[in-house]
Amino acid sequence: MADKVIYLREKPASPADERNFKIKYAELLNPAQLAAVTHRDGPLLVIAGAGSGKTRTLIYRVARLIESGVPPGAILLLTFTRRAAQEMLRRAEQLVGDRAGAVAGGTFHSFANNVLRRHGAPMGLKPNFTILDRSDMEDVINLIRTRMGLGSRERRFPKKSTIAEAISMARNKRRALEEEIEIDFPHLSEHQTEILALAKNYESYKRERALLDYDDLLYRLAELLEQYENVRRRLSDSYRYIMIDEYQDTNLIQADLVRLLAMNHSNVMAVGDDAQSIYSFRGANFRNIMDFPTIFPGAKIVKLEENYRSIQGILDVANDVISRAGEKYTKALFTQREGGFRPYLVRAQDEHMQSRFVAQRILELREEGVELSEIAVLFRSSFHSFDLELELQRRDIPFIKRGGFKFIETAHIKDVLAHLRVIANPQDAVSWLRVLTLVKGIGHRTAERTIDALVASDDPATAVSKFAEKARGGSEGGLKRLGALLAELRAGEKRPPEQIAMTLEYYLPVMREAYADDYPKRERDLEHFQNLTERYKSLEQMLADMALEPPSDSLDGVLATDSEDEHMTLTTIHSAKGLEWKVVFLIWAADGRFPGPQSVGDDEIEEERRLMYVASTRARDELYLSYPIHMFDRSFGFVMGRVSRFLEDVPAELLQSATLQESEET
DNA sequence: TACAAGTAAGTTTTT
DNA sequence: CTTACTTGTA
């Protein structure tokens, strides 16, 4: 065993030392930002209001550390999406050059993935484990449910997605499943016994087959750090400066991971804004940000309150919305940006009129010289933009849509991936199920029986071919072709693009039969998918990426823009987190849509309010809030819509009200 | 017995 | 549009 490494702290920087730095930090940052950036050792909490230069502060701190002689590889930057991490590192590179590229960065999940593959062996984890995304998780649950013979008669059993949600939520909130059901899913209580048994089986099922779902990535990393002191020590020694962005959206396990990783040095910088906590549905707990000083005693706290993004008129509305929050840090954003614009509150007759208004205003903005990339339309739920998407298409306004259904989640992409996943991890029974049921003449029953034998065999390709010989019910030919494909995929050193090409050759005819009505569309998706995976050299890496950071374009977006042409953005508020545009539209700012019908409890309403705050602070220069007064409700037909309760009480002088009218000309 | 096709209900946000 | 259960066919 190697000696413990002791790092000597550098002398604290005195003002004279500033000359040693190439970057003139004091000139480029405001006093609060500077305090955060020049902070060197020990815990630091930065409460950063919307648009207060949070990202800038993080980037300059990375640069500062590197300039002070900290090896870039000793810096760990945990962010909410990998896109955010990459963007930050790119900007850091502009400051200090290539060195910044060596900074370790990514999401908690991708970090956990890497650590577990490298150091998971002592706890019996195979390095080729498969990551289950949400729909894989649901597939497994469904499979186990059928095996257990649950819900076949009398009582209708809850949907797999509901069960998956309950199981995941319990883990993210660190609760017993029983307790979780009692609190958040009382309507499932009549099936509690079965669900608990199912959850137990789900756990062992994953363990036996080297499958990890999203929650497992975090949990098993915590387990590794807690139970294997030498691993924890090694990681803590190699990542001596840890920074976490969007700390208000971490959950209890993530907070624990930070504590464990920082145990040797306490060099942790957490950045966040309690007013922007919008992921409690995923177990995020904004209390983490408040408890930070308790977990890391002596934490220095810096507040960034000056907003550099929005004009005052927009901030006034945002401040007013959040001022009615039940519980909050008092923090009022202010700006030195002048400008007389007041946000619009636009009342439309119906949804389509709302869409036409947005499209028309966008065309006007383009006339005024505003680039499309500077315009975004935000909404609470992905489906809220359907009508608008049609209208934009009709008027040839190019857009991409972020959030909502992703094209990587479509059946045909998952089908192709499943073939590759069984190559990477032959124990991956979920993928086997997918692969086998695609063969004509094989349904769930036959597939399930076959899988156990396949998982146990060393050479699945040959095993499949053997099954082909004994097959009945017309599955012989299909199985034979499948066996040949698998053998080919495994043979020699092949790269992902090659493997995908081979899989497609096998899969395309299968798909044409399975999705006879719309296969041309799916073929185009697969082509797009091929382009995306062109750069991968390792199959494992590609599969992990697809599960952890799938390309965020939605299907609609991919089809709407043929190329990398300039385009505007449609996005859910959640996916708009951390981003900004010159002009922002928020559609469906109507009670019943935002907040939606499912937000009933006080906590839920409070989170919706923070969402409204996040949405309105994305805009730099212009903000348009709109709602239709006639809206369709599936049970009541057309009902009167009213403005979202979060905007209802905003003083009239802060907003410009407008009503849309059909022009008289014919 | 097992697969395939057909029918009737429910729909947020994401790593 | 998806999912859970029902009915029809080999």
CA A192 to CA A286: how far, in whole Å? 29
Measured CA A139 to C1' C7 distance, in angstroms = 24
**What is the number of other CB atoms lying within 10 angstroms of the CB of residue A72?**
19
Please give the nucleotide, over all strands, whose C1' is closest to the CA of residue A163. C3
CA A509 to CA A521: how far, in whole Å? 14
Decide if A584 contacts A622 (C-beta within 8 A): yes
Decide if A94 contacts A175 (C-beta within 8 A): no
Please name the residues in contact with A353: beta carbons below 8 A apart, sequence gap of 6 or more.
A628, A660
Q: Could you give the residue numbers annotated as active site of A?
A: 54-55, 245-246, 276, 618
CA A213 to CA A430: how far, in whole Å? 12
Measured CA A152 to C1' B6 distance, in angstroms = 18
What's the DSSP call for residue A390? Answer: H
pLDDT in tens, A73-105: 999 999 988 888 888 999 999 999 999 999 998
Across the range A451-467, mean pLDDT stands at: 83
What's the DSSP call for residue A406? Answer: B
Residue reference for tokens 């695609």: A438
pLDDT for A94 equals 92
pLDDT for A559 equals 43
Decide if A59 contacts A94 (C-beta within 8 A): no
From residue A272, alpha-carbon distances to A49, A277, A390, A635 in Å are: 8, 9, 37, 41
User: Does position A399 have pLDDT exceeding 50, yes or no?
Assistant: yes
pLDDT in tens, A610-627: 999 999 999 999 999 999
User: Does position A443 have pLDDT exceeding 90, yes or no?
Assistant: no
Instruction: Please return the burial class of A551, using the count of CB atoms within 10 Å of its CB with bins 0-12, 13-18 and 19+.
Output: middle
Give me A458's structure tokens: 């060393």
Please give the nucleotide, over all strands, whose C1' is closest to the CA of residue A442. B3
CA A419 to CA A431: how far, in whole Å? 7
CA A96 to CA A186: how far, in whole Å? 54
Measured CA A151 to C1' C8 distance, in angstroms = 22
Average pLDDT of chain A to the nearest whole number: 88
Q: Which nucleotides of C are covered by protein (CB under 7 A)?
A: 3-6
Strands A44-48 vs A581-586: parallel, antiparallel or unpaired: unpaired
The secondary structure of A457-493 as a DSSP string is: -S-HHHHHHHHHHH--TT-HHHHHHHHHHHHHHHSS-
Angle at which helices A411-424 and A496-514 cross, to 10°: 130
Sign, Cα dihedral of A315, A316, A317, A320: positive
Sign, Cα dihedral of A498, A501, A506, A511: positive
pLDDT in tens, A296-332: 999 999 999 899 999 999 999 999 999 888 766 656 7
Strand B-proximal protein residues, Cβ less than 7 Å: A 80-81, 107-110, 133-134, 168, 214, 278-279, 281-282, 380-383, 403-404, 437, 440-447, 473, 548-550, 552, 572, 574-575, 596, 598-599, 604, 634
CA A417 to CA A279: how far, in whole Å? 29
The secondary structure of A549-560 as a DSSP string is: S---BBHHHHHH
Percent of chain A with pLDDT over 90: 56
Please give the nucleotide, over all strands, whose C1' is closest to the CA of residue A157. C4
Task: Cis check for the bond before A398: say yes or no (omega within 30 of 0).
Answer: no
Within 7 Å: CB of A339 and strand C? no
pTM for the predicted model, two decimal places: 0.90
User: Does position A635 have pLDDT exceeding 70, yes or no?
Assistant: no
CA A258 to CA A309: how far, in whole Å? 30
pLDDT in tens, A215-231: 999 999 999 999 999 99
Across the range A392-412, mean pLDDT stands at: 85
pLDDT for A586 equals 97
Give me A500's structure tokens: 């995908």
User: Does position A665 have pLDDT exceeding 90, yes or no?
Assistant: no
A150 or A314, greater pLDDT: A314
Measured CA A471 to C1' B4 distance, in angstroms = 18
pLDDT for A155 equals 64
Confidence band (pLDDT; 50, 70, 90) for A661? Answer: confident
Measured CA A213 to C1' C1 distance, in angstroms = 26
Decide if A177 contacts A203 (C-beta within 8 A): no
Within 7 Å: CB of A161 and strand C? yes
Strand, helix or coil for residue A8 = coil
Range scoring the smallest mean pLDDT among A535-539, A551-555, A638-642: A551-555
Percent of chain A with pLDDT over 70: 94
CA A518 to CA A521: how far, in whole Å? 6
Q: Which nucleotides of B are covered by protein (CB under 7 A)?
A: 1-4, 11-15
**What is the number of other CB atoms lying within 10 angstroms of the CB of residue A210?**
18
A450 or A140, greater pLDDT: A140
pLDDT for A558 equals 42
pLDDT for A2 equals 62
Confidence band (pLDDT; 50, 70, 90) for A555? Answer: very low
pLDDT for A58 equals 95
CA A462 to CA A491: how far, in whole Å? 12
